[in-house]
Structure 1
């Protein structure tokens, strides 16, 4: 017997996925604010995730402007998957830093990363700048 798992998707577009760097807090804040702006059902997603064992599927859509008149630096499509994931995963808990000074999205209680049992990730190259962004699919 198979059970269909319920999931929620956070879909962010017209946003360049960022990697971890010396400006990590600013980059996390930028992502958090963009998710808040583009996701209308965050409260519902918070309730869905509360104290649950979660699977997270993160899809990065990186813009390749090589066909444009003003191409993007090639580094934009060469971002390392692990560095892209770091920013996303740090934004999901209630606090997005170990000091507890900066609020996260509150999708994961406190810093209970142990509730994440599976992480899948992929990066895809897109040629339409409007499609650049991130999908975060959260499943119980």
Structure 2
């Protein structure tokens, strides 16, 4: 799954009604992934980890606790590609997510749930990029 397909999938699965915790988005994404090939699940996990890793920088997360920072970055991804790219260009656009504790923790578990549904087993996954808070050492240089 390339970046364009990832963002198209996110957009197609976003709810037209308010989804403050990203639960509806996560459910819709999981449902779509379980009906496709395993390569889509793996590709989704890779693209999600890359998107979260890119937001793992000092200008976004300074002063935020690890989980809060992670869930807030997930909310930016859940907001869609346009908002995500705007936040990347203008870090001050991250402030409302952090100050209002806008989280989308459920998004993080989409690949795991899809994998488990397909295989019946838990996924002990590893992606190229870690999405855990503060793992992007270049983004935290000088912190």
TM-score bin, normalised by smaller chain: 0.3 to 0.5
- Answer 1 or 2: which has greater strand percent: 1
TM-score (norm 2): 0.33
TM-score (norm 1): 0.33
- Answer 1 or 2: which has greater helix percent: 2
